[in-house]
Amino acid sequence: MALERYRAKRNFSTTPEPNPTAAGADDGHLFVVQKHDARRLHYDFRLELDGVLKSWAVTRGPSLVPGEKRLAVEVEDHPLEYGAFEGTIPKGEYGGGAVLLWDRGFWTPIGDPHAGLAKGHLEFELHGEKLQGRWMLVRMRPKPRDKHLNWLLIKSHDQYAREKDEADILEERPESVSTGRPIDEVAEDAPGWSKEGPIGAWAKKATRGAAFDPASLPGAKKAPTPSVVEPMLATLAETPPDGARWIHEVKLDGYRILARIADGRVRLITRGGLDWTGKFGPEIVEAFRALPVREAVIDGELVVETSGASNFSALQEALSEGRTDLLVYYAFDLPYLDGYDLTGTPLIRRKEALQAILGEDAGPLRFSGHFEESGEIVLRHACRLGLEGVISKDRDSPYRAGRGRSWLKCKCAARQEFVIGGFTVSTASAKSIGSLALGVYEQRALRYVGRVGTGFSAAVAQGLFQRLETIRSPTSPFADRLSADQARQIRYVRPELVAEVDFRAWTADGLLRHASFRGLREDKPAEEIVREEPRSEAQPKPGTHAMTLTHPDRLYWPDDGVTKEGLADYYAEVWSRMAPFVVERPLALLRCPDGINGQKFFQKHAWKGHGDAIMLARDPKEPGEPLIAIRDFDGLIDLVQSGALEIHPWGSTLADWERPETIVMDLDPGEGVAWESVIEAAREVRARLADRGLAAFVKTSGGKGLHVVSPLTPAADWPEVKAFTKSIADAMAADSPGRYVSTIAKAKRTGKILIDYLRNQRGMTAVAAYSTRARPGAAVSAPLEWDELGPGIGPAFFTVANTPARLASLRRDPWADFRAAAAPVGSGKRRRRKAA
């Protein structure tokens, strides 16, 4: 019944829109916004409820300005399949025109959504790629001639809100979140067709996977399905490798399993060659059988997740209790598919094929994604999240059996498998173990490495006691004679079982410190267990080789004669001073590939074909495209190569996204303001910051004004820092209304200086110290000593041409003490200042 109006309005023999037979399940929280260029351009706002998409046509689109009301006309419910729709509806049909998937994500109702809709006041939070935070839909009182119910879509005050004079999200982000295209490109498609193929087929592939032709892959060879595939293994490393050659996957904490699909059967094989198909229950097997493949070998890890992370102890518990419904299989490689051996195909292409056949259905089979950012950053985030570590893989590596250097593993904590050579009985229970005596093999001899006496639940301790009693041995399995203390109360066993153990470190005499039991590893034979030590071989680092510029003579500043190579030379001169302000921070760029007289565009996300030394940084709060960052000089030169003529960093680092360690007060003079007045404003900002316990440094903006910059100890979050800087700007405007404003409205700025504090909020940026500006003159944003401020040095005085000579002549760096002067926000007492 819910979709009758939807179906009645459409001729599905003509329109490509989905034609559902019934509403979907009623437990999802999808939201989508579709940009719809029909008779007039509008935005269709849809919230999943009761198995359908409740829909409103928002005539002017959503606004991020709190309190700004946007008319939202209630229209018919749409099917859930519509949430993937992007394409063209033929003209003459209902809603004829281009439809672009402008935003998507999930929504969280605040209170009972049914009651909210009935009452006419629905509050909710959006978690999308473009729209975030708290919103509300408010129903208007109907008028006699109204054909539809009219609502108002309103943004609430929160950290995602924007001021009225800030950028409009509709203009800032016009593209599709599905294909990245603008709507005029969608309009050029034949009706029902997108660049992903037919709309219906794309939606099907996105949810359930699709067949894949392995013959299209480089290196694929015709071959029968192998009866056995020996798995490819990773070598332990101290630090992850870096560079574009490597991709990084989260290290999973479960059983390594190769799934063999052939002759209508599914077999699940451990890395040791054991057939454990019957051990894991019917759910996983049926999921593999449902894949769109005839024959395949899939490599992955079987896990149980707790709190969003795989947990080996939870896996063992689930298996012991028969809870096979909790099992999840993360697939990460595809050595064989439908008559073709893919072991010679590059890894990244094998993963593309694997992802295609798995699709995006969040069932028990899932694709193991990867990260292309710096390996060290991926490892750092993995460790902060309590994960085991990362596996770094050469993106072009073939699939080769055994352990090699194409796959490297880095762990957040020391953990490995050990052979159980004996046990002691618990002092609390005669039928439980107290500790395990552990060893590793060295040249076929079992060497004692210590005991583990924690990490056992009562049930596990009892179960281990029962198993170990059955393999008791009258003699020690260890090659060396144990000391009296080591051998005390040990009951020896045949070295058949393997334990996984966390530990703090190795002692100088080769024993474990602070070990904790994780579980038995029955998938690994005892004779393969050796001491794991990371090889100290140095990994290649980006920036260790000379960068080669293409078209080095391209003029970026034609009137000033500054070429691409000249810009690279400038940055080579200033890099040591600039590096602390741009390294390992999210960056926004002003790119001018053809110079300042050509096309200009801001870019904060990575682009196709970016340089190998450019880092990709995943914003933990903003899923989607990665942001841009650099870690060294080669990264900066890659930015030069790409035509990045302005570099604007966040005030926080990749190590701590949410707590800024720099604030910037941008002094932007309106028409008719003398330069001396800007200098006075900078000194007043400095004094007010000093009153609040903060040091202040100054630099030219390279444009019209000055930047007063303060280093922070990263303690306060973004909202607190924004409120702090706003209080300073508002106080200056209130104390001297004839000189300063704190709002961006241009009508209020003539003859006054804008105290722009809005750089100090999450996702906003300010031009970096020593960055060039994409303006005539090739000016740079130059750090100064406070006593250098004067009428002789204007905002664009320092340039690519004169800054290197300036720095060479200085006896000290003007900002040498910048980081040492960091202090927390609000550490000083606030004093009221008299109006000038």
Domains of the chain: 4-207 (no CATH), 214-411 (3.30.470.30), 414-528 (2.40.50.140), 555-649 (no CATH), 662-821 (3.90.920.10)
Neighbours of 489 (CB within 10 A): 11
- pLDDT at 191 (0 to 100): 53
> Which residue do the tokens 């990264």 mark?
635
- pLDDT at 689 (0 to 100): 95
Q: Which helix (H) or strand (E) holds 520?
A: strand 516-520
- pLDDT at 386 (0 to 100): 54
Q: Which of 156-165, 372-381, 532-541, 808-817: highest mean pLDDT? A: 156-165
Question: Tens digit of pLDDT for each residue in 168-224?
Answer: 999 999 998 877 788 988 887 655 433 333 333 223 333 346 778 899 999 999 999
Going by the DSSP 8-state scheme, the letter that residue 144 receives in this structure is T
- pLDDT at 477 (0 to 100): 97
Angle between helices 675-691 and 718-735 (to 10 degrees): 120
- pLDDT at 540 (0 to 100): 32
| Helix count and strand count (H, E) for the chain | 16, 45
Q: For residue 158, what pLDDT band results from cuts at 50, 70 and 90?
A: confident
Written as one letter, the residue type at 624 is: G
Written as one letter, the residue type at 41 is: L
d(CA 430, CA 427): 7
Question: Tens digit of pLDDT for each residue in 474-488?
Answer: 999 999 999 998 999
- Residue 707 structure tokens: 């930047």
Provide mean pLDDT across the span 674-684: 94
- pLDDT at 584 (0 to 100): 94
For residue 391, the SS3 value is strand
| 365 close to 331: Cβ distance less than 8 angstroms | yes
Q: List helix spans (H) across 290-398.
A: 312-320, 347-358, 375-384
| 122 close to 144: Cβ distance less than 8 angstroms | no
Instruction: Answer with the residue of higher pLDDT: 588 or 7.
Output: 588
- Residue 119 structure tokens: 């009452």
Q: Which helix (H) or strand (E) holds 577?
A: helix 564-582
| 662 close to 697: Cβ distance less than 8 angstroms | no
Going by the DSSP 8-state scheme, the letter that residue 277 receives in this structure is G
d(CA 779, CA 797): 7
Angle between helices 564-582 and 633-641 (to 10 degrees): 140
- Residue 647 structure tokens: 């570099």
- Whether pLDDT at 538 is above 80: no
Instruction: Answer with the residue of higher pLDDT: 776 or 384.
Output: 776
- Whether pLDDT at 128 is above 80: yes
**Interstrand relation of 753-756 and 740-741 (parallel, antiparallel or unpaired):** parallel
- pLDDT at 398 (0 to 100): 96
Instruction: Answer with the residue of higher pLDDT: 424 or 83.
Output: 424
- Whether pLDDT at 96 is above 90: no
Neighbours of 172 (CB within 10 A): 12
With a pLDDT cut of 90, the percent of the chain lying above it is: 52
> Which residues have C-beta within 8 Å of that of residue 272, sequence separation ≥ 6?
523, 524, 525, 528
Query: Between vectors from CA 771 to CA 765 and to CA 777, what angle results, nearest 5°?
Result: 120
Q: For residue 663, what pLDDT band results from cuts at 50, 70 and 90?
A: very high
Q: For residue 25, what pLDDT band results from cuts at 50, 70 and 90?
A: low
Length of the chain: 836
Q: For residue 422, what pLDDT band results from cuts at 50, 70 and 90?
A: very high
d(CA 696, CA 244): 38
Is residue 130 annotated as part of the catalytic site, yes or no? no
Q: List helix spans (H) across 76-144.
A: 113-119
| 30 close to 106: Cβ distance less than 8 angstroms | yes
> Which residue do the tokens 């292409």 mark?
349
Burial of 487 (0-12, 13-18, 19+ CB in 10 A): middle
**Interstrand relation of 87-89 and 193-194 (parallel, antiparallel or unpaired):** unpaired
Q: How far is CA 151 from the centre of its chain?
A: 35
| 78 close to 10: Cβ distance less than 8 angstroms | no
d(CA 543, CA 613): 7
- pLDDT at 580 (0 to 100): 94
Neighbours of 769 (CB within 10 A): 26
Catalytic residue among 35, 54, 155, 251: 251
Backbone angles phi, psi at 651, to 5 degrees: -85, 0
d(CA 489, CA 514): 20
Q: What is the CA radius of gyration of the chain?
A: 31
d(CA 660, CA 711): 9
- Whether pLDDT at 543 is above 60: no
Provide mean pLDDT across the span 93-118: 89
Q: For residue 336, what pLDDT band results from cuts at 50, 70 and 90?
A: very high
Backbone angles phi, psi at 803, to 5 degrees: -65, -45
> Which residues have C-beta within 8 Å of that of residue 389, sequence separation ≥ 6?
251, 379, 382, 383, 409, 410, 411, 412
- Residue 648 structure tokens: 């604007």
Provide mean pLDDT across the span 100-128: 89
- pLDDT at 159 (0 to 100): 83
- Whether pLDDT at 539 is above 80: no
Give CA separation, 44 vs 19, 100, 125, 434, in Å. 18, 10, 17, 64
Instruction: Answer with the residue of higher pLDDT: 791 or 545.
Output: 791
Strand ranges for 568-649 from DSSP E: 587-591, 601-603, 614-617, 627-630, 644-649
Dihedral over Cα of 680, 681, 683, 687: its sign: positive
Provide mean pLDDT across the span 755-781: 94
The model carries a pTM of 0.41
Mean per-residue pLDDT of the chain: 86
Question: Tens digit of pLDDT for each residue in 73-89?
Answer: 999 999 888 888 888 88
Q: How far is CA 266 from the centre of its chain?
A: 34
Q: Which helix (H) or strand (E) holds 185?
A: helix 183-187
> Measured in Å, how far apart are the chain's first and last C-alpha atoms?
70
Written as one letter, the residue type at 660 is: P
Q: Which helix (H) or strand (E) holds 468?
A: helix 458-469
Provide mean pLDDT across the span 429-448: 92
Question: Tens digit of pLDDT for each residue in 261-283?
Answer: 987 789 999 988 889 998 888 88
d(CA 235, CA 222): 30
Provide mean pLDDT across the span 316-335: 90
d(CA 582, CA 648): 8
Q: Which helix (H) or strand (E) holds 285?
A: helix 282-289
- pLDDT at 647 (0 to 100): 96
Give CA separation, 147 vs 3, 142, 150, 274, in Å. 19, 9, 9, 68
**542: closest CA among 442, 627, 632?**
632
Q: How far is CA 132 from the centre of its chain?
A: 16
